[in-house]
Amino acid sequence: MTKLRGRTIVITGASSGIGAEAARKTARLGATVCLLARREDQLDEVCADIRAAGGTAHAYAVDLADPEATDAVAARLLEEHPRIDALVNNAGRSIRRPIEESLDRVHDYERTMAINYFGAVRLTLALVPRFLEQGHGHVVISSTMSTQVPIPLFSAYLASKAALESFTRSLTAELGHQGITSTTVYFPMVRTEMSSATQIYQAMPMLSADKAANWLVKAVVDKPTRVTSLPGAVGELGMAALPGVVTKASRPLFRRMDASLAKRVKDR
């Protein structure tokens, strides 16, 4: 298939998980893919897989939490690729910690914002002039269903994702008439290295990274305003209509879910 032939797609967090699978899939659709992540050896492996399958891929090892490194990689992208059609802001980190245990850990919020928000915003801003010059550019962000419903224990992660969602909406509101569009992808729990770090989640049914990558491909190809699940959409409607009721009702549900998952892990 050649739906993306001639297009250049930049994908962050592309060394493993959802980002790596999305890179492979978009390359199979004909895109030239630029892979960004910290782990150079894994980036090279993904690029090698893509090239072996007949695709075109370029690796850019970078820590997007480092402003100078982000500026430098953006300059390389602009210099080496006359056309950039889409940016997929997929890189991120998550912290699962109760707020009561975070009272002296403001750095958790700062380091999460550094990659999930500021790194993504810095890279996006660097590419906007090229998008405007071309008259088109699409920005995709990997977010989470947990910003659509009230979820406990992930305040640092969710705050960073909510901030990125708001920035991306403003980007389209201001520059949509000049050809800049965006898609927010609200993932449910996905089986990745990041989610597997939480022991109790080993017992939770999750979307595979391969299937989750299809959501990013849809975002790049079809350019909808959002890609979400039915539970996420329902939760968002509920929060818009009855936020107090939904928030109150969700509290015991999540406590019971965590207790059930912990028991299942223990019983294995």
The 10s digit of each residue's pLDDT in 96-123 is 899 999 999 999 999 999 999 999 999 9
Residue 150 DSSP code: -
Considering the candidates 60, 117, 157, 186, report the single residue annotated as catalytic.
157
Instruction: Grade residue 151 by pLDDT with cuts at 50, 70 and 90.
Output: confident
What domains appear along the chain, each with residue ranges and CATH number?
Answer: 8-267 (3.40.50.720)
Say if CB 48 and CB 236 are below 8 A apart: no
* Secondary structure element (H or E) that encloses residue 28, with its range: helix 17-28
Q: What is the pTM of this model?
A: 0.92
The 10s digit of each residue's pLDDT in 200-255 is 566 566 789 999 999 999 999 999 999 999 999 999 999 999 999 989 988 887 77
For the question of residue 157 being annotated catalytic, the response is yes
223: Cα separation from own chain's centroid: 15
Q: Who has greater pLDDT, 42 or 190?
A: 42
